[in-house]
Amino acid sequence: MAETAYWEAIRRAHDEEMANDELVIAMGEDIGVAGGTYKATLGLYDKYGEERVIDTPISENSYTGIGIGASMTGMRPIIEIMSINFALLALDTLINAAAKIRYMSGGQIACPIVMRTPGGTAHQLAAQHSARLARMFMSTSGLRVVTPRGPLDAYGMLKSAVRCNDPVIIIEHEQMYNLKEDIPDEEFFRPLEGAEVVREGSDITLIGYNFSVHLCLQAAKRLEGDGISAEVIDLRALKPIDRETIRRSVEKTHHAVVAEEDEAPVGVGAEIITGIIEDCFFALDSQPVRVHAADVPVPYNATLEKAAIPDANDVYQGALKALGKI
């Protein structure tokens, strides 16, 4: 076991996978000589050379497409997009090509690419650097979407993503790169499916993913002080969603809150709550609650930004609302 930061966990996964398989390459802006905006590939340019740790021009759609084309020949590219906002530039090759080539070809050609990108708000990065967008990828068939909440999953899921034969989008978070956790020294893999109960409880289920899992955990602690036992679920994967774990929990607690950092319409909360209604409507003792961002572009001003983005207090309040206490 060693205490490892989130970025170090990603770096270690890159390193091991590149050492393990010649066909694994990394691509992205400033990932080579500069070592990566989030240090995810620090030192790997020197170790594996410029043909395997590729500094790309600022051409998101086409270098993603080049990665996809290479994957069609058997390569396993890990593509870093500096911010999920810029992934919008790559939607054509990601959604129209990578997500559909296996299907359109009748199963003949796989596109085993990994796209990693931070998707969340940091501090005062303003509207064009604060997109979350998970909802767009999770609604696309042919993709896998995962959201590691800490170093354990950041390492183990990246390794699985490299080996898996499907295109995988890994949504990271600017506020988590320095998060630390003990992770085993020996190699391990974490599956790309399955939600995880990260805290057991009996009175209410708080459901999060990516950074919002941490908000749920903080809210659960506060609820404990009020004598309320909250269960916290980390979705881990947004595509496919593990509805079974959610159902089991809601049948036990009878109350549900979904915390998402994104805006509500057509979002993660909408999808999860629909699943709850379809799977265990009669287990509910109250209306499920969505905790989400305000329906605005993320403001620059710190006070406004704070008002726009949900925090642990919002999750706490959401839980009280679901329990009929406010």
Partner 1 sequence: MNDADKKRLLREMILYRRFEDRSFEAYMERKIGGFLHLYSGQEAVATGVLEMAVVGQGRKNDYVITGYRDHIHAIKTGTDPKAVMAELYGKETGCSKGRGGSMHIFDASQNFMGGYALVGQPFPLAAGLAMGAKHQKTNQIAICFLGDGANNQGTFHETMNMASIWNLPVLFVCENNQYAIGTRIDRSTAVTDQYRRVEAYNMKSSQHDGMDIDIVMAAAKDAIDYVRKESKPYFIEFMTYRFRGHSMSDAKGYRTREEEAEWEKRDPIKIYSRRLVEEGIITPEDIKAMEKEVDDYIENEVIKFAEESPEPKVEELTRYVLDDNPDPRWIGPLQQ
Catalytic residues: 60, 129
Interaction between residue 34 and partner 1 (CB under 8 A): no
Q: Looking at 152, 164, 219, 220, which residue binds partner 1 (CB under 8 A)?
A: 164
Q: How far is CA 174 from CA 124, 125, 293, in A?
A: 12, 11, 17
Crossing angle (nearest 10°) for helices 212-225 and 312-322: 60
Tell me which stretch binds partner 1 (CB under 8 A): 163-171, 207-215, 270-278, 280-288.
163-171
Find the shortest distance in angstroms from Cβ 272 to partner 1. Answer: 17
Q: Looking at 75, 88, 125, 294, which residue binds partner 1 (CB under 8 A)?
A: 75
* Ramachandran quadrant class, 74 (left: phi over 0; alpha: psi -120 to 50; beta: rest): left
Tell me which stretch binds partner 1 (CB under 8 A): 73-81, 222-230, 262-270, 274-282.
73-81
**CA–CA dist 13, 167 (Å, integer):** 17
Find the shortest distance in angstroms from Cβ 230 to partner 1. Answer: 18
**CA–CA dist 56, 82 (Å, integer):** 11
Interaction between residue 138 and partner 1 (CB under 8 A): no
**CA–CA dist 120, 190 (Å, integer):** 22
Subset of residues 229 to 258 that bind partner 1, contact rule: CB under 8 A: 236-237, 242
Subset of residues 168 to 187 that bind partner 1, contact rule: CB under 8 A: none
- The C-alpha angle with vertex 230 and arms to 224 and 235, in degrees rounded to 5, equals 140
Interaction between residue 115 and partner 1 (CB under 8 A): no
Subset of residues 195 to 234 that bind partner 1, contact rule: CB under 8 A: 195-197
Interaction between residue 275 and partner 1 (CB under 8 A): no
Q: Looking at 120, 142, 150, 310, which residue binds partner 1 (CB under 8 A)?
A: 142
Question: Considering beta carbons, is residue 111 or 298 the nearer one to partner 1?
Answer: 111
Within 10 angstroms of residue 231's Cβ, the number of other Cβ atoms is 24
Which sign does the torsion angle of CA 26, 32, 36, 39 carry?
positive
